[in-house]
Structure 1
Amino acid sequence: MRHTIIKINGTALWGALLMLALSGCTKLLDKKPITQVVTPNASDSSVTLTGAQSLLQGVYGAFKGAGYGPGIEVNVFDRINNGDVMSDNCYAGGDNQDNIAQDNFTFNSLNSNITRDWSDYYSVIGAANNALFQVAASKDPSLTADMKSQILGQIKFMRAFEYFDLVRLWGAVPLVINPIDASSSESLIKSSGGLRSPVDSVFAAILSDLWAAKGTVIDPGVDPSKYTVTKGVVNALLAKVYATKAPINWDSVAYYCDQVIPHYRLMPRYADLFDINHKDNSESIWEITYDGYSSSVGNWVPSLFQGAGYKKFMTPTNDLVKAFNAEGDTARLNASITFVNYGWPDKYWTTPTNYPVMSKYTDPNNGYNDMYMIRLADILLLRAEAYNNKSDLANAALMVNQVRARAKIGPVVAASQADMTLAIDNERRLELAFEGQRWFDLLRTGRAKAVMNAQKDASGNTLYNVQDFRLLFPVPQTQIDLNPLLTQNTGY
């Protein structure tokens, strides 16, 4: 099929939240899309081709945080905070008490980070829902069926991406994909997410959006911008969803990884992935693009996490540095961590003249660094997991060794399936450090509590006592106060 490329540069457009409680799930490897239809009113059919393109631009803008809207924090800053600081990769750093509470697993429903994230996810989802409703209703003949379906597919993918984070962080959450009824306070509460849908229903909605998107978006390589949603991007997320949704369907993980891998190739040099001269590179599957502070939106997030001068919002752990050193992995260590002279010790690092800071992103001062949402090494290592779960250690090793060879370290050594499981886990940790992946990997493999409770400070003291209920966030108290139909997660 010939596609017209829909460009995505533009400013954020904020929309209303919508809701639908979807139920049921599927274990099929691949499936014809189940379209989530919102029946338009006649008055909503006036969106033109230009208007539809602007709506699409608005969703991309909301996702990335154009104008420093919600996406800049929930999809970038807090992706690292939730994915690395809550894991064995980083300590909180700095003096922000909400960050420290997340690091120490002492957070509650008043934590401002958690409150912000809930709100920001639904703000981006609201922009997507508003755009979907209006584009689907358009009667403009200039908006061809192909262009319309391509736009709708990209938007559905971004909605699915946000729900994937929500369900992993909170479990059951409101499914908001229908127009809000604001005719009364009671109907507003009900239609804006009064009830939390079961986890299986949330995953069913995610898969429905992704199946729909897969059939309509463009092929990989058609658009040089790696922020444009393509079939490669959708298939990569499908692989990650199937590696997370219980029970894990390893056949589906393998299938979708195999749809992705031929279209991308690893960058020859690991460090080049994170400078500003290799944007939209061969390894990138989906990345948020930033154009610097002088443009409409720059990526200010790396400046908060890395560099000397003051203590940043995350500190690499003793355990992570030991893991790099145990592998002799100097290439990825040196590309990820720099040791600086801060001038003060703490309980984590007692030598202040040799204090680690993240240095993975090379432009913390001007805002040009892009942020990877998905890249090939992630998918190669997922494919290795799928091979290993079929007891195919040889092919699992082939996947892992592609990643290790780029890091200039020797082939993986694993004599059993259990050994290979731990080897892949460690490889993902070192390869994807500071990219917001680690905590989600620990959750989906069932290792989060054991790994975190084994962590020690610089003096050998146990750092954490993670309880089962803390593997999920609490529903923000502000949301429960506004909506008495919302229930709280157990333990909070």
Structure 2
Amino acid sequence: MNSFIKYSSILAIAITLLSCKKFLDVKPQDSVSDEQTIVDKTSAQTALRGTYRKLAADGYYGSLFQTFGYLPGDNVQWTGSQSVIQQFITHNIQADNGNLATVWSAIYATINSANHVITKVPLVKDATFTTDDRNQIVGEALFIRALSYFDLARTWGNVQITLTPTLTATDKDDTRQSTQEQVYAQALADLNAAEPLLKAPATPNPVRANLETVWALKARWYLYRGQWSDAATYASKVLTNLKNYQLQQPYSAFFAPASTVATKESVLELSYSATYTNGHRNYWQPPANGGTRQWAPADALVTLLNDPKVGGNRSALIAKTSAGLWYGNLYYRSPATDPTYLIRIAELYLIYAEALAQQNRPADALLPLNAIRVRAGLDPFSNPDKAAVLQAIENERRVEFALEPHRWFDLVRTNRAGAVLGVTDVNKYLFPIPAQEVRLSNGKLTQNLGY
């Protein structure tokens, strides 16, 4: 415990010093004019809650999009027989894959909801609606749209960008495909627009975006784009706020016991309730616990997590049935009110470490890297060689976020998917655009190469 506190405190000081129809044509229920749906402060707040609800839906972060981050990796196995899932594991995704289409639609539904808020809230006439209230709502919607475009960029690359709400069945027919660079740029533009509208809260409320949430996603964005100095800068902005964000000790303290939600580990998490449950739980838990265990930790991951020199106390992520079947235990509550963890402070530590190492400062990177290792009950890593530090960071990310949607995207962004997974066809690093979207786009969407 003392070592853990030491690393966290020293790091904070060091950082301070270093400082069927294509989906865009949505159905009428989703395209009701906001002149009807957003008319005052109350309806604006309701609309924003609806945007968060879409972000948390089963097709997006409630379940299926998360599988895009781990099924193509090496941490998770599929125990069923449906080819629609197996395609992600074998890196042979077909354009007519149903899950592919579901996630695409869910992300664009989230964007459309955010567009309604961003466009209409500034026009609302309501004497009780203060400027700060408006800015907060629009800023949060901009953040959600930024995250959505970031996810589209890293998953599909070349997609359509729409910045206005869909009001009729045909008003997006002329929306052309953008490049991956342009989609990433849109995500950053939204974060830049959200930044001056949001404030850093005196008391954290990690189920809603704030200024520091924007900084955290910016750190991730810059990491993906290889802009190491900016990644380090924005990670440090969040890490230095030890009042609001801290690694929880031990590792399992951010998700257990069942009453644990919204800890200082979470920079952003999505909340669920007994009436609006998290669909992810069912896929991970075994039948004995009322689940289906369709996703399960791979044998190699079980070995890593149970190795006290690698997994440390992160072995709490997995459990074993009386029949000897291992299962993931990050989502376990009954009813399924488990939060979805979008950004944890642990990620900011490892972003900071990687960004420092990539700037030829591997010795400096040891401090944030070891904050994660010591929290996990491991000995500090001491080799200051740059290649060794980067490999150690990759190893820590694998086990730290073992059941979270990072592994596949990490291996792609670091050009390690070939060496680690044997996926040498770079065309496979982006997923195919859903076939129905291409077919119904009237030439506005071109299928990604290799599909």
Q: Confirm or deny a common fold (TM above 0.5).
A: yes
Unaligned runs of 5+ in 2: 1-27
Aligned counterpart, 1:27: none
Q: CA deviation at 1:415?
A: 4.2
Q: CA deviation at 1:181?
A: 6.8
Residue type matched to 1:205 in 2? Q
SS in 1 for 2:116: helix
Q: CA deviation at 1:81?
A: 1.0
Within a 5 Å distance, the mapping from 1:115-264 to structure 2 comes to: 115-180=101-166, 182=168, 188-190=172-174, 193=175, 195-222=176-203, 224-245=204-225, 248-263=226-241, 264=245
Aligned counterpart, 1:478: 436
Within a 5 Å distance, the mapping from 1:12-411 to structure 2 comes to: 15-16=30-31, 47-64=39-56, 71-180=57-166, 182=168, 188-190=172-174, 193=175, 195-222=176-203, 224-245=204-225, 248-263=226-241, 264-275=245-256, 276-292=258-274, 295=275, 297-309=276-288, 312-325=293-306, 328-329=309-310, 331-340=312-321, 354-363=324-333, 365-411=334-380
Structure 2 Cα separation of the partners of residues 156 and 56 of structure 1: 11
CA contact (8 A) 1:82 1:436 kept: yes
353-362 vs 159-168, greater mean Cα deviation:
353-362
Q: CA deviation at 1:238?
A: 0.3
SS in 1 for 2:319: strand
Distance 1:14 1:131, change over 3 A: farther
Aligned counterpart, 1:434: 403
Structure 2 Cα separation of the partners of residues 159 and 391 of structure 1: 34
CA contact (8 A) 2:223 2:231 kept: yes
Identity across the alignment (%): 29
Distance 1:441 1:221, change over 3 A: farther
Structure 1 Cα separation of the partners of residues 143 and 232 of structure 2: 20
Q: CA deviation at 1:487?
A: 0.6
Distance 1:482 1:412, change over 3 A: same
CA contact (8 A) 1:16 1:130 kept: no
SS in 2 for 1:479: helix
The Cα offsets for residues 353-395 of structure 1, whole Å up to 9 and x where unpaired, read as: 53321122331x3112111100111100110011111222222
Residue type matched to 2:267 in 1? I
The Cα offsets for residues 20-56 of structure 1, whole Å up to 9 and x where unpaired, read as: xxxxxxxxxxxxxxxxxxxx9xx68972122211211
Out of 467, 474, 478, the position equivalent to 2:425 is: 467
CA contact (8 A) 2:112 2:165 kept: no
Structure 2 Cα separation of the partners of residues 124 and 356 of structure 1: 34
Structure 2 Cα separation of the partners of residues 162 and 249 of structure 1: 20
Bigger helix share: 2
Structure 1 Cα separation of the partners of residues 38 and 93 of structure 2: 47
CA contact (8 A) 2:142 2:191 kept: yes
Structure 2 Cα separation of the partners of residues 468 and 236 of structure 1: 28
SS in 2 for 1:134: helix
Q: CA deviation at 1:484?
A: 2.3
CA contact (8 A) 2:305 2:315 kept: no
Q: CA deviation at 1:59?
A: 1.1
CA contact (8 A) 1:160 1:206 kept: yes
Structure 1 Cα separation of the partners of residues 37 and 112 of structure 2: 19
Residue type matched to 2:324 in 1? N
CA contact (8 A) 2:283 2:292 kept: no
Structure 1 Cα separation of the partners of residues 337 and 158 of structure 2: 36
Distance 1:45 1:287, change over 3 A: closer
RMSD: 2.4
TM-score, normalization: structure 1? 0.80
The Cα offsets for residues 443-491 of structure 1, whole Å up to 9 and x where unpaired, read as: 11111222112xxxxxxxxxxx552211111111111121122110011
SS in 1 for 2:240: helix
Q: CA deviation at 1:239?
A: 0.2
Residue type matched to 1:91 in 2? Q
Structure 2 Cα separation of the partners of residues 331 and 219 of structure 1: 33
The Cα offsets for residues 164-193 of structure 1, whole Å up to 9 and x where unpaired, read as: 11100001110011244748x5x5421xx3
SS in 2 for 1:215: helix
Q: CA deviation at 1:435?
A: 1.1
Structure 2 Cα separation of the partners of residues 171 and 135 of structure 1: 30
Structure 1 Cα separation of the partners of residues 238 and 76 of structure 2: 30
236-245 vs 130-139, greater mean Cα deviation:
130-139
TM-score, normalization: structure 2? 0.87
233-242 vs 307-316, greater mean Cα deviation:
307-316
Q: CA deviation at 1:333?
A: 4.4
Q: CA deviation at 1:339?
A: 2.8
Distance 1:215 1:163, change over 3 A: same
